[in-house]
Structure 1
Amino acid sequence: MVTSNASWAYRDEFHEAFARTFYRRFGDGLVSSIGVGTYLGEPTDEVDERYHDAITEALATGVNVVDTAINYRCQRSERVVGRALADSDVDRDAVLVSTKGGFVPFDGSRPADPGAYIQSEYVDTGIVDPDELVRGSHCMAPAFLDDQLDRSLANLDLDTIDLYYVHNPETQLAEHDRETVYDRLEAAFERLEERAAAGDIDHYGVASWECFRVPADHESYLSLAEVIARARSAAEAAGNAATHFRAVQLPFNVHMADGFTVESQPAADGPVSTLRLAHEADLDVFTSASILQGDLADGLPEDVDARVAGETSVQRAINFARSAPGVTSSLVGASRTEHVAENVDAGRFEPLGADAFDATFE
């Protein structure tokens, strides 16, 4: 589990190589404002080895945030993260490890008949109730998350996962009304509060794709304020003194800046952006799609590109994402060591200040 002492010691070893605010607060510890993502790539041994080398390189050069999910690459991403952590010379307690549960994962490779696999592995065994399965692939029922968390702990070979996300809960809105989804989230949160009390996770959160960056009348919208309220109720029901709900993850880049620009989250003085509400609620924000799955390597809009520091388009895209107010760390997929070097070097440039960041939207 990431600790204050170990993460501060990690920062002390590397911080002189980076510009200001590269390391940022996470609880009472520090984490790098650039993290490694593990979403892309085929479920093959070759890609596993590339990820292993990329993750160990990132850890050895100043990045101590690694993000994955049980469904990424048929559980292979979690397993290679676990192997890289074990092989790294970096203290495990210096690294923030996050993973996610919600999408039913395959095991090692995509089966010839995915529906039959889910039926035999999850439905027939009683792990998933068919009434709780949406679109044949998404579930956030407490019993399912229990199973998934146990598998993630085994895949990662960890005693404690630092940050466990409920993965894209807005998927449930395809078949259920918003109130039902909030109720299901609260039930999921209560189980995660119990697992936090047991020491299996340190914190939990919600990883989203659309729900926190769309207008309130959008079919995928969820209220972050309501989600926070449900987490507090879950903590109380679990007998915890305070909630372990700690973070949200959402896409953020120059073309998907809705988390900053769309004011659809209810607050005391009227609607605010997700980033604003998260800051006011003392939540950490981790951005995904920070380089739009590689698309921003071809360049940023000229007016933005001219304002953001960095030697390459990728570095400028990363620095735009981590300049957004309230962002703790921007995740960047990296399955090659040369990509890691370029991504890490983005941290040697100053991020945009608040006024300069605002000016990119004028």
Structure 2
Amino acid sequence: MATGPGTWAYRDRFGDSFGRTFFRRFGPGVVSSIGIGTYLGEPTDEVDDRYHESLVLALESGINLVDTASNYRHGRSERVVGDALRDADIDRDAVVVASKAGFVPFDRSRPDNPGAYIRETVLDSGLASADELAHGSHTIAPNFVDEMVDRSLDLTGLDHIDLYYLHNPETQLAITDRETVYDRIEAAFEVLERRVAADDIGRYGVASWEAFRVAPDHDSYLSLPEVVRRAERAAETVGNEESGLEAIQLPFNVVMADAFTADVHETEAGELTSALWYAHEHGLHVFTSASLAQGDLATEIPEAVDGVLSGDTFAQRALNFSRSAPGVTAALVGASSPEHVAENVAAGTFDPLGARVFDSVFE
């Protein structure tokens, strides 16, 4: 597991190579403000090999945050993350590993009959009932989430996952009402609270796509304050002294900035605020996905923003925008090639924007 001494030693080893605030507080120690994701790519041995090379390079260059999920590339991503951790010249306790549960994973490749596979592995095995399965592929049923934690530990070969997310829980809104979804989130949180207590995971979070950055009347909206309340109730039910909910993951970049600009979450004072500001005020770490807008920002950035950002390439400047936002602990970016890893690592040699300059982008 990632530890305070392990991550601080990692920071001492690499920190002088980067700009200010590249390493930021998280959990018992620190984490790099650029993290490596493992979502994209075909489920093939060739892509596995490229990911392995990229991850080892990143870990040996100053990035100690790796993000994956039980369903990414049909489980291959979790496997390659574990292999890279064992092969890289770094200690396990220096690296923060995050994974997720929500979408039903296949095993290495897409089966000939996905529906039959899901019936057999999820419904018939009692991991979820049919009315808990959205779009035939998504569930946060307690038994399923519990099984996915075990699966993540098994595929990575690790005895501890540092951060474990519920993956896109807003998907459940396609099949039931919002209050029921909050109930399902709370039940899943109870599972994760127990896994925190058992030291199988360090802390947990919610990885979303639309939920926290759309208006309350949107079909995919979830209230971040309500999610926090449900985590507190789950901790109380399980008997933990405080909630293990410590992070959210959501898209944020130059062209998708509504996590900062959309005031859609009600504070205790009855005022509305954005997801980033609410998270910042309530001690939740924010990890940004889609930091390069699926690669679009690697080739072009709006001129009004590009002029205030530091970096030699569009990709570097886009990453530095995402990790400059208030409350953001790290910006995630894919790692499917060593060349891109080297470019992304170099983004951290530039300082992020100060608060005043960042705010000026939106004036």
Same fold by TM (over 0.5)?
A: yes
3-state SS of 1:335 partner: coil
CA distance in 2, matches of 1:334, 1:159: 24
Aligned ranges for residues 129-278 of structure 1 at < 5 Å? 129-269=129-269, 270-278=271-279
3-state SS of 2:294 partner: helix
Shift of residue 316, structure 1, vs aligned partner:
0.4
CA distance in 2, matches of 1:160, 1:139: 23
3-state SS of 1:58 partner: helix
Q: Which residue matches 2:86?
A: 86
Shift of residue 112, structure 1, vs aligned partner:
1.8
**Equivalent position amino acid for 2:246 in 1:** R
3-state SS of 1:106 partner: coil
**Equivalent position amino acid for 1:258 in 2:** D
**Equivalent position amino acid for 2:322 in 1:** A
Aligned ranges for residues 32-71 of structure 1 at < 5 Å? 32-71=32-71
3-state SS of 2:30 partner: strand
Shift of residue 268, structure 1, vs aligned partner:
2.7
CA contact (8 A) 2:3 2:29 kept: yes
**Equivalent position amino acid for 1:188 in 2:** A
**Equivalent position amino acid for 1:59 in 2:** L
CA distance in 2, matches of 1:150, 1:28: 23
CA distance in 2, matches of 1:185, 1:325: 26
Shift of residue 125, structure 1, vs aligned partner:
2.0
**Equivalent position amino acid for 2:350 in 1:** F
User: Aligned pair 1:106/2:106, yes or no?
Assistant: yes
CA distance in 2, matches of 1:16, 1:205: 30
**RMSD value, Cα:** 0.7
Shift of residue 88, structure 1, vs aligned partner:
1.1
Shift of residue 128, structure 1, vs aligned partner:
2.3
**Equivalent position amino acid for 2:348 in 1:** G
**Equivalent position amino acid for 2:169 in 1:** P
Aligned ranges for residues 276-355 of structure 1 at < 5 Å? 276-355=277-356
- Provide Cα deviations, 1:208-264, integer angstroms capped at 9, x if missing partner: 000011111111110110000000000000011111111000000011111100000
**Equivalent position amino acid for 1:319 in 2:** N
CA distance in 2, matches of 1:215, 1:122: 33
Shift of residue 116, structure 1, vs aligned partner:
1.3
3-state SS of 1:25 partner: strand
- Provide Cα deviations, 1:291-349, integer angstroms capped at 9, x if missing partner: 01111111100110111000000000000000011100000001111100000000001
Shift of residue 117, structure 1, vs aligned partner:
1.2
> Taking structure 2 as the reference length, what is the TM-score of the superposition?
0.99
- Provide Cα deviations, 1:10-45, integer angstroms capped at 9, x if missing partner: 001111110000000102310000000000000000
CA contact (8 A) 2:253 2:292 kept: yes
**Equivalent position amino acid for 2:210 in 1:** E
CA distance in 2, matches of 1:244, 1:149: 15
**Equivalent position amino acid for 1:153 in 2:** L
3-state SS of 1:293 partner: coil
CA distance in 2, matches of 1:295, 1:77: 23
CA distance in 2, matches of 1:84, 1:186: 34
3-state SS of 1:46 partner: helix
**Equivalent position amino acid for 1:234 in 2:** A
CA distance in 2, matches of 1:230, 1:99: 21
Q: Which 5+ residue runs of structure 2 have no aligned equivalent?
A: none
CA contact (8 A) 2:126 2:143 kept: no
**Equivalent position amino acid for 1:357 in 2:** F
Q: Which residue matches 1:4?
A: 4
**Aligned residue pairs: how many?**
362
Shift of residue 56, structure 1, vs aligned partner:
0.5
CA distance in 1, matches of 2:288, 2:164: 15
Moved over 6 A (4+): none
CA distance in 1, matches of 2:279, 2:73: 30
CA distance in 2, matches of 1:121, 1:190: 23
- Identical positions, percent: 63
CA distance in 1, matches of 2:214, 2:59: 34
**Equivalent position amino acid for 1:316 in 2:** R
CA distance in 2, matches of 1:262, 1:198: 37
CA contact (8 A) 2:214 2:220 kept: yes
**Equivalent position amino acid for 2:206 in 1:** V
3-state SS of 1:154 partner: helix
CA distance in 2, matches of 1:137, 1:168: 12
**Equivalent position amino acid for 1:311 in 2:** D
**Equivalent position amino acid for 1:220 in 2:** S
